[in-house]
Structure 1
Amino acid sequence: MKIAIAGFGALGSRLGVKLQKAGHEVTGIDGWPAHIAAINTNGLTVVHDDLPPKKYFVPVVTPKEVTGEFELIILLTKTPQLDRMLTDIAPIITKKTQLLVLSNGLGNIEVIEKHVARDQILAGVTLWTSSLVKPGEIHTTGTGSIKLQAIGHADAVSVAAALNQAGLNVEITQDVLTAIWHKAGINSVLNPLSVLLNANIAEFGTAGNGMDLALQILDEIQKVGATQGVKVNITDIMNDLTDLLKPENAGNHYPSMYQDIQNGKRTEIDFLNGFFAKIGRQEHIDTPFNALVTALVHAKEDIERVKLAKKQETFEI
């Protein structure tokens, strides 16, 4: 299958390598010039667990440079940049192109519907992880899975088969919205708290009150979900959190929000905890924990961006 991955960062790179190794023709699409140059010049370096580094050569281009036709486009662009990405890659999207969104956060489907018919959309969630260490190099750990559903009449079976060829452990579900809220619950715990506690997932697990904080966040999400007709199962989310703490799963991983903060980027907090706080206000549901976490992460964004700017000024001098 001819596949493009829009958002060829940490996770996009990991999935791209696995798909290419399975025999699919893969093209990466990204907006970070240094990352693109590093991969196209020296290849993508992948360090998995404690194994020696390996090099892979996957072509990567900018959104405005990509050409051709693709059977599948996997969208891993963060929600705040998704509309812009779809606008830029519009020339490669035909009526036969299927789009699978695996980005974290809520509201992605509504954005994609502005660009293509519902029958071209598949929505999914993934527990695969990856860390972008520097341009052209990712570190991966453990394994993962994907749940997906056709929003209209997209061919979920063929897409799942192609991804499973690459060992991506794909399951077709008929209730992806519940799965998306489930994943958003996990991310609304691990992403912001890893930032605020300066910890990877396993280190978060060593905090004596870490799971108490998680329960406070999830209790609010469950109440908000009930107003939207979505059943949020706190027990299932807590079980998944416990599994993710293990080093053999994702314990050694720093979530994407932590990586964004370190790189001076704006995070997707408004599409996780901020989203739940917003819906809570609209539905008159108190969400003090999610609102506070959102405000603190925004403050952290500002602080780290100023620090990074000062470092760059020092380096230039």
Structure 2
Amino acid sequence: MKYGVIGAGAMGYRYGVMLQENAGMTVDFIDTWQPNIDQVRKQGGVSVARDHENRHIVPINIYTPEEYTGHPDVWIIFKKQMQLAAELKRDQAAGLFHDDQYVFSAMNGLGHFEKIAQYFPKENIVCGTAMIATRLDGPANVDFMGAKNTEDMHMARYNNAEPNSQVQAIFDDFTKAGLGPAFAPEWQGMCMSKVVFNAVTNTLCTMFEMQMGQFIEYEGVRAMSEQLFNEAFDACERAGIHLIETRQQEVDSVITVSKAYKYHYPSMYQDFSKGRPTEVDYINGYIAKIGREHDYVCRTHEFVVHEVHMAEMMRKYHHPAPQA
């Protein structure tokens, strides 16, 4: 099949390059960040490393939405939550979307599938989560974190139906690419399992500007994790959302995943450190929203959202120290 990747960032590059290099798929990249497009064209592709080693150029095709005239079978979408609505509107105006296409997304946070469903039939949307750490260190410069064959992801249809032949074909291509897919029975519990994980690791690592390995050095990590997970699970249970992992499995995963990616800064910190808005409203804020909608107040998650936004505000007061 032919794939189109909307959003040539860290995860967009990860999925597209692995499908192209490992599965032999034809992949086109659509992006709106002009320095990224210019750098790809200047160096003849995207510069890819794995855990800071073996950096090399992978030739790719990259276009702005208005330049693109192709017709992929499947779109893969990786945009920041706050950018997605404008991106989809621009892509639609450029004539990129067609009724026969499927779309897959494994973006962080939640709220994106409702936006995607404005442009694609519900039965053509495949929801995903990815426990796959990737860094974008600059335009057309990406680092795949973690050893090969440790990639782990889940997928489920937005209508919660069994996989049809097209969805199975996507699954098979992801398997060949080495992305480690597994089917989940329904999308909402699957996605919330990743959201509540990110609500601990991404958010706390960002507030204290630390790597995941540094995070779990603190002896109180389990207690902090349990407090955030318990609130999230309580909110989800009231909403009738059944996560694919138990509370204890979520707590344990904080330790095991952080050990596996001990030198990794989560994506929220990568945004924060570069002066970009974070996705905390779509992670901890989304959990708090579910709670409020079902007469349950997630006090810790609401407090954490305020803390992250306060840290974002304080960046305007942080200036480089004068040189001696």
Could you say which residue in structure 2 is the equivalent of 1:173?
184
Q: Deviations over 1:219-261 (max 9, x none)?
A: 1101100111113421121222221112xx3222111100111
Could you say which residue in structure 2 is the equivalent of 1:193?
204
Offset at residue 137 of structure 1 (A): 1.1
Could you say which residue in structure 2 is the equivalent of 1:56?
58
Offset at residue 50 of structure 1 (A): 5.0
**8 A Cα contact 1:147 1:176, kept in partner:** no
Q: Deviations over 1:59-118 (max 9, x none)?
A: 222334332111011111122222222222221111111000111111222111111111
Q: Aligned partners of 2:251 and 2:8: how far apart in 1? A: 30
**8 A Cα contact 1:185 1:218, kept in partner:** yes
**8 A Cα contact 1:48 1:139, kept in partner:** yes
Runs of 4+ in 1 over 6 A off after TM superposition: none
Q: Structure 1 residues 188, 168: CA separation in 2 closer, same or farther (over 3 Å shift)?
A: same
**8 A Cα contact 2:152 2:179, kept in partner:** yes
**8 A Cα contact 2:49 2:143, kept in partner:** yes
Q: Aligned partners of 2:177 and 2:317: how far apart in 1? A: 40
Q: Aligned partners of 2:77 and 2:206: how far apart in 1? A: 24
Q: Structure 1 residues 283, 151: CA separation in 2 closer, same or farther (over 3 Å shift)?
A: closer
Is 1:137 aligned to residue 144 of structure 2?
A: no
Could you say which residue in structure 2 is the equivalent of 1:25?
26
Is 1:279 aligned to residue 287 of structure 2?
A: no
- Structure 1 counterpart SS, 2:109: coil
Normalised to the residue count of structure 2, the TM-score between the two structures is: 0.89
Match of 2:5, as an amino acid?
A: I
Could you say which residue in structure 2 is the equivalent of 1:88?
90
- Structure 2 counterpart SS, 1:53: strand
Offset at residue 183 of structure 1 (A): 0.5
- Structure 1 counterpart SS, 2:53: coil
| Residues 33-52 of structure 1 mapped to structure 2, 5 A cutoff | 33-42=34-43, 43-52=45-54
Is 1:210 aligned to residue 221 of structure 2?
A: yes
Could you say which residue in structure 1 is the equivalent of 2:254?
241
Which of the numbers 120, 125, 128 marks the counterpart of 1:121?
125
| Residues 254-293 of structure 1 mapped to structure 2, 5 A cutoff | 254-293=265-304
Q: Aligned partners of 2:139 and 2:51: how far apart in 1? A: 19
**8 A Cα contact 1:70 1:92, kept in partner:** no
**8 A Cα contact 1:2 1:72, kept in partner:** yes
Match of 2:77, as an amino acid?
A: L
Could you say which residue in structure 1 is the equivalent of 2:107?
103
Q: Aligned partners of 2:112 and 2:67: how far apart in 1? A: 24
Q: Aligned partners of 2:287 and 2:218: how far apart in 1? A: 24
Paired residues, number: 308
Q: Deviations over 1:173-224 (max 9, x none)?
A: 2222211111001110111111111111111111221222111111110110
Normalised to the residue count of structure 1, the TM-score between the two structures is: 0.91
Match of 1:2, as an amino acid?
A: K
**8 A Cα contact 1:16 1:26, kept in partner:** yes
**8 A Cα contact 1:6 1:77, kept in partner:** yes
Could you say which residue in structure 1 is the equivalent of 2:153?
146
Same amino acid, percent of matched pairs:
26
Match of 1:145, as an amino acid?
A: D
Offset at residue 131 of structure 1 (A): 0.7
